[in-house]
Structure 1
Amino acid sequence: MAAAALLVAALGTGCGAADPAAPVKGKAGQSAAEAGSGAAGALANSAEKLKAAQAARAAMAKKWGLAKTPLMAPAGPKAKPEITTREGFEVEGQDELPPVFTTVPTEDKVVFLTVDDGAEKDPEFIRMMQELKIPYTAFLSDYLVRDNYPYFKEMQAAGVTLNNHTLNHRYMPGLNYEQQREEICGQQDTIQKQFGERPRLFRPPYGNYNQDTLRAAKSCGIKAVPLWNAEAFPNRMDYREWDRDLHPGDIILTHFRGREDWKGTMPDMIRHVMKTVTDKGYAVARLEDYL
């Protein structure tokens, strides 16, 4: 390409052909050979970094007792997919309201891990996810979180987005519009006050909502309502779809729970869900990278 450019320049100015013995120069007088060598070096360096990252992740997987090393997710798409409400999940006036969805439209073989409420505050869970570099998104209810805000601040400092799951985890369709708005906007205000950021995502307790829920959520600044297509436990996965399987872009729900509620810990749950995800050839990606 550089040689062609020089030839065009010579023809355009009426000059003679360039000396064929002279090296073709690129930016800042760099020869094509030098440029090629630099590009090859950059690629080799990138490959070495990737290899080192995979080796480090494999070591962490062994440390935390995972059956396999988690797969690396691709970079998030530059052009975000269009998010629309899942068929059958609409309410009247849905086109003007935040979309409700269980799967993100993507051909990437990725799934998204989300964790609800905030009851269990297991420090081993935070360390495990940091060391394994597994992304996840939290949906918090203040009545369960307020006794230990620092736990979730540590989570946020590690790159986890903290989103809205209402103040008191009430059944939203059983409340009127103003009561629902108090639950959602109140949690927006609380998260902003305690963690410095106002959420854009909201998940209604139990996945139940009506038109008032979405109207209230929109009025509080909510942009989208991610539900889930699969749910993770320490000993099983439950699925929404008839084929009982994962699909590209599926959102996985789990909870901040421990032995009091489960026959296992949060790290036990992660070991099980990651075995399932990895065995099926999926990587866990960051939900916010696709929204």
Structure 2
Amino acid sequence: MNRKLVVLASLLLLAGCGADEQAPAEQPKGSAAEEQNDNKQHETEKEASSNTEQAETEAAAGLEGEAKEEAGQAVPQYRMKDDFSIQNIENPDEKVVLLTIDDAPDKYALEMANTLKDLNVKAIFFVNGHFIDTPEEGEVLKQIHQMGFSIGNHTYNHKTLKELTEEQQRKEIIDLNDRIEELTGERPQFFRAPFGMNTDYSKKLAAEEKMLLMNWTYGYDWEKNYQSKDALADIMVNTPLLRNGANLLMHDREWTSAALRDIVIGLEEKGYMIADPALIETPANQKTAAQ
């Protein structure tokens, strides 16, 4: 009986020794091995955190890009030069022109918008506030905007800004922006002063409102000799002033509306592309361009 107990005790002792040999030796506190393990764990955690932050940043950027795309925002392709012509940012030699229509929407703006839409080209309609005072007039502007055309500010009453006080200039510009936003949901990104005559104050207001200050390179439809369809179409296409980047000024007029189709076709036959104003760099979309 005593012999059995001795054997059993010996077997238990051997089993315990075997378990101790298989178990990893515990590292002393503060040892180099422990420090190495800690550093390795810290680097692993840091790398995981960095990867997580990068993934979150990329995901946020992707969502922001998708949001801009869904909102109809596009990276600008054109910029305006000091002479008010436009230029393709990546391809300066591209033959391109910009169409602009002032004093809208009087009597022919909607007809002109339909002509341009049928030709699949875009333009800026520069609006006077006194043409959108009534609900019916406002509906015309809404239709033009819903057709995809850019709406510009041409002041409320088309008065010479240099003859107005700063407060009067503010009302002419800001009140119109407010009215356009009320009708379309968007504030204009382009400003053109009546007769192309700006003041230091109007330039300041345009900058505050993030509007691109715009004049033109040529136009003819206010001259008596060109107040007919054929005469106007001919001069707009064959003028020596036509060049790469030209900024064409037209107005909401009967003869201009009649000539518009021939003007667009004539320009395209000469190899000019009609620029989409939504792709012009403005103070409002420069952040998008930088990204």
123, 139, 154: which one aligns with 2:126: 139
* TM-score relative to the length of structure 2: 0.59
89, 100, 114: which one aligns with 1:114: 100
Provide the alpha-carbon RMSD of the alignment: 2.4
* Equivalence for 1:247: 243
**CA positional deviation for 1:122:** 5.4
**CA positional deviation for 1:232:** 5.2
* Equivalence for 1:52: none
Alpha-carbon contact 2:80-2:280 (below 8 Å) kept: no
* Equivalence for 2:158: 169
Call closer, same or farther: CA 1:79–1:160 in 2, change over 3 Å.
Answer: closer
* Equivalence for 2:260: 270
Distance 1:82 1:285 in 2: 11
SS at match of 2:191: coil
1:1-291 mapped onto 2 (5 Å cutoff) = 80-86=77-83, 101-104=84-87, 106-118=92-104, 119-121=106-108, 123-147=110-134, 148-219=137-208, 221-231=209-219, 233=221, 234=229, 235-236=231-232, 244-258=240-254, 264=255, 266=257, 268-291=258-281
TM-superposition CA deviations, 1:165-215 (whole Å, max 9, x none): 111111011112221111111111111112111112101011111212201
Call closer, same or farther: CA 1:181–1:124 in 2, change over 3 Å.
Answer: closer
Call closer, same or farther: CA 1:286–1:133 in 2, change over 3 Å.
Answer: same
Q: Which residues of structure 1 form unaligned runs of 5+? A: 1-76, 87-100, 259-263
**CA positional deviation for 1:85:** 3.2
* TM-score relative to the length of structure 1: 0.59
Q: Which residues of structure 2 form unaligned runs of 5+? A: 1-73, 222-228, 282-291
Call closer, same or farther: CA 1:153–1:170 in 2, change over 3 Å.
Answer: same
What amino acid does structure 2 have at the position aligned with 1:127? N
Give the number of the structure whose alpha-carbon radius of gyration is greater.
2
What amino acid does structure 2 have at the position aligned with 1:226? M
**CA positional deviation for 1:114:** 0.8
Alpha-carbon contact 1:121-1:151 (below 8 Å) kept: no
SS at match of 1:253: strand
Alpha-carbon contact 1:140-1:164 (below 8 Å) kept: yes
What amino acid does structure 2 have at the position aligned with 1:112? L
What amino acid does structure 1 have at the position aligned with 2:252? F
SS at match of 1:146: coil
4+ residue segments displaced more than 6 Å: none
